[in-house]
Amino acid sequence: MAILTISRQYGSGGREVGRAIAKAMDYDYIDRQRIVEDMRAEGNLWKDKAEYFDENYPDIWERNDWAFRGFVALNQSHFLQHAVKGNAVIMGRGGNFLLKQFPFVLKVRIIAPVEKRISNIMEREDTNSENARYLIDKVDSEMAKAVYLIYGRNMDDPKEYDMVFDTSQRSQDDIVTILRSALLEKDKYDTPATRQALKLRALAEKIKATILSDPRFMISTLDVDPKEEGMEKYGLRVRGIVHRREDLGLIEEIVRQMADNLPVEFQISFMAFPRFGRLRFK
């Protein structure tokens, strides 16, 4: 079934729209808290990282630390595991970019004028206008920077979405009615072939997350991508750079076990660290 991704300006009412359409369509509502719960199952380290990076834009050291890459990979993997089930509203986290290629995904942006957003936050958070404006500037800025860091895209660009709604111009009920109709239309693109493509993408991200979240490995870069050959043959391509020769075999073993019988193409290279060794920051 169709999937809805919602990107929102802070205080625009996007969260309320997401919850309302999820209830109206009997969809699963996947937000920050759901992903934190998923990450908790990965252990206390990743629960803490999920909570920390959700509230703080990573500094230059954190962006190059293995833990941040592991967090991003796990975050994307969990979103895709939910997406595979279908009938989901996925809030934020660059979901429109993560699922951009799939035709049964409806990508929506919710905005509002800053004065309306200030009013909404003042009422919701029981605060004054000065604090509300500060929160808007801070949250919008950090969300935009995080999306650009991970996806290299501008989350404010309306061309990245199928629909953009201004909650000062349309009521929540009107938006939900429009979204309901659009999602039913998207259902026709949920074919066995497109669903298989999403499952393969989810598997690739799960493998990537498993490796990048494992502190044993010394990896500069790693990509695990679906590889389609013709109409029926599917497989995976694994590319990256490791800094210990023994990691080559260990990574290949993990990938083959998780890929089951799928064909896998490996393009992983060994590159020794410079004499000063590896820098890691916690």
Residue 278: predicted pLDDT: 46
Binning pLDDT at 50, 70 and 90, where does residue 230 land?
low
Tokens coding 77: 């993997």
Share of the chain above pLDDT 90, in %: 66
Backbone angles phi, psi at 4, to 5 degrees: -115, 125
Architecture of domain 216-270: 2-Layer Sandwich (3.30)
Binning pLDDT at 50, 70 and 90, where does residue 55 land?
low
* Residue range(s) in the chain whose domain bears CATH number 3.30.1340: 216-270
Residue 210: predicted pLDDT: 94
Measured distance CA(268)–CA(271) in Å, rounded: 10
Taking each helix axis from N to C terminus, what angle separates 14-25 and 172-186, rounded to the nearest 10 degrees? 50
* Residue range(s) in the chain whose domain bears CATH number 3.40.50.300: 3-189
What SS3 class is residue 135? helix
Residue 100: predicted pLDDT: 93
135 has pLDDT over 50: yes
Residue 127 near residue 24, CB atoms below 8 Å: no
122 has pLDDT over 60: yes
Of 84-88, 147-151, 278-282, minimum mean pLDDT range: 278-282
Residue 160 near residue 98, CB atoms below 8 Å: no
Residue 80: predicted pLDDT: 94
Residue 8: predicted pLDDT: 95
Taking each helix axis from N to C terminus, what angle separates 245-259 and 192-212, rounded to the nearest 10 degrees? 150
266 has pLDDT over 70: yes
Domain 3-189: CATH class, spelled out:
alpha beta
